[in-house]
Amino acid sequence: MLRGLYTAASGMIAEQRRHDTVTQNISNISTPGYKQVDTVAHSFPEMLISLMGDKASGGTTHIGKLITGVFAEESIPSFVQGDLKETGKNTDFTIISSVGLKDPKTGAQIAFDASGKYVSANGEVIYRPQAFFAVQDNNKNVRYTRDGSFTVNAAGELRTSTGYRVLDSKGNAIVLGPGVSVDQLKSDSAGKLFTYDNTGNPVVLATLGVNVVNRPQDLIREGNGVFRVDDPKTTGVRVMNADEGVEVRQGSLEVSNVNPLQSMVDLMAAMRAYESNQKVVQYYDKSLDKAVNEIGRV
């Protein structure tokens, strides 16, 4: 009986975490560059149930397997490209990432599925490399984001919506300068920022620091659409190459890739599953109450 109580309780905890994850996704539907998070649940080790034989017949009969509970193991972000929203602001930028990758064994171009994953013949899961803007927090740590809603402060510094400094391709903070007009700020597809002088000639100011992450599944979410990397070499962080399918587009933003309809379905499913496990816990509670307070008095 207690095994069933623990199984139902573990189901409630897992569904609560699933509910919290979906709620977080829904609350960030309007956040530029936000990447949806999915909760992965695994079952506890299975137990083989057997019927013990009597002395006459001997032996045992296998009934089947019993799962003793479930737990939410981890939350995995989905780096699928979100839709583009035209804003017309010169300080808004979008990364359009379609980085390709070759199979290390066969050398053939990998065909990723719609979720950005590829499963090799030996079962290895490979994720599509993703591109991010490199930014610097207030402690001078390098972070990565897809939120390109930048602003320019009075000192001419290019900043994110949360106040982080935007880095260039060499890892330095981008300072446009006090005399640069935002209205004249332009960018090409490689993220090179420039303006025009009095004679109409282009003047290059900086190049946006767009980094490609070979193993995006190793990124650690910090909040506000920002990720960190503990080991850049293992994660495979590198500066964007000009010929690997990454484009920077000015005057637009990448909206959240959260599907609101599917999120509402997942939210209702988590609530119903939580209620079902809750009723099971209540049933076991009543059964234990009868066993202790009523049967014990007989």
Tens digits of residue pLDDT in 18-69: 999 999 999 999 899 999 998 888 777 666 666 666 555 556 666 677 777 7
Among residues 23, 18, 125, 131, which one has the least CA distance to residue 74?
18
Residue with tokens 């079902």: 276
Q: What are phi and psi of 176, to 5 degrees?
A: -75, -25
Average confidence (pLDDT) over 236-250: 84
Sheet holding 186-187, edge to edge: 186-187, 192-196, 202-207
Q: Cβ contacts of residue 297 below 8 Å, gap of 6+?
A: none
End-to-end CA distance of the chain: 21
pTM, two decimals, is 0.79
Q: What local confidence, expressed as pLDDT, does residue 70 receive? A: 80
Model pLDDT for residues 245-276, shown as the tens digit of each residue: 788 999 999 999 999 999 999 999 999 999 99
Check if the beta carbon of residue 164 is closer than 8 Å to that of residue 227: no
Q: What local confidence, expressed as pLDDT, does residue 164 receive? A: 95
Q: What local confidence, expressed as pLDDT, does residue 184 receive? A: 86
Q: What local confidence, expressed as pLDDT, does residue 201 receive? A: 84
The DSSP call for residue 114 is T
Q: What local confidence, expressed as pLDDT, does residue 251 receive? A: 93
**3-class DSSP state of 159:** strand
Check if the beta carbon of residue 202 is closer than 8 Å to that of residue 160: no
Check if the beta carbon of residue 203 is closer than 8 Å to that of residue 195: yes
Q: What local confidence, expressed as pLDDT, does residue 294 receive? A: 77
Average confidence (pLDDT) over 234-242: 85
Mean pLDDT of the chain: 84
| d(C-alpha 161, C-alpha 182), whole Å | 16
CA 262 to chain centre: 16
Model pLDDT for residues 58-103, shown as the tens digit of each residue: 566 666 777 777 877 778 888 888 899 999 999 999 999 877 666 6
Model pLDDT for residues 115-167, shown as the tens digit of each residue: 777 777 777 777 888 899 999 998 999 999 999 999 998 888 999 998 999 99
In the chain, what is the greatest distance between 2 CA atoms, to the nearest angstrom?
105
Q: What local confidence, expressed as pLDDT, does residue 207 receive? A: 92
Q: What local confidence, expressed as pLDDT, does residue 50 receive? A: 64
Q: Is it the case that residue 106 has pLDDT exceeding 70?
A: no
Average confidence (pLDDT) over 209-227: 89
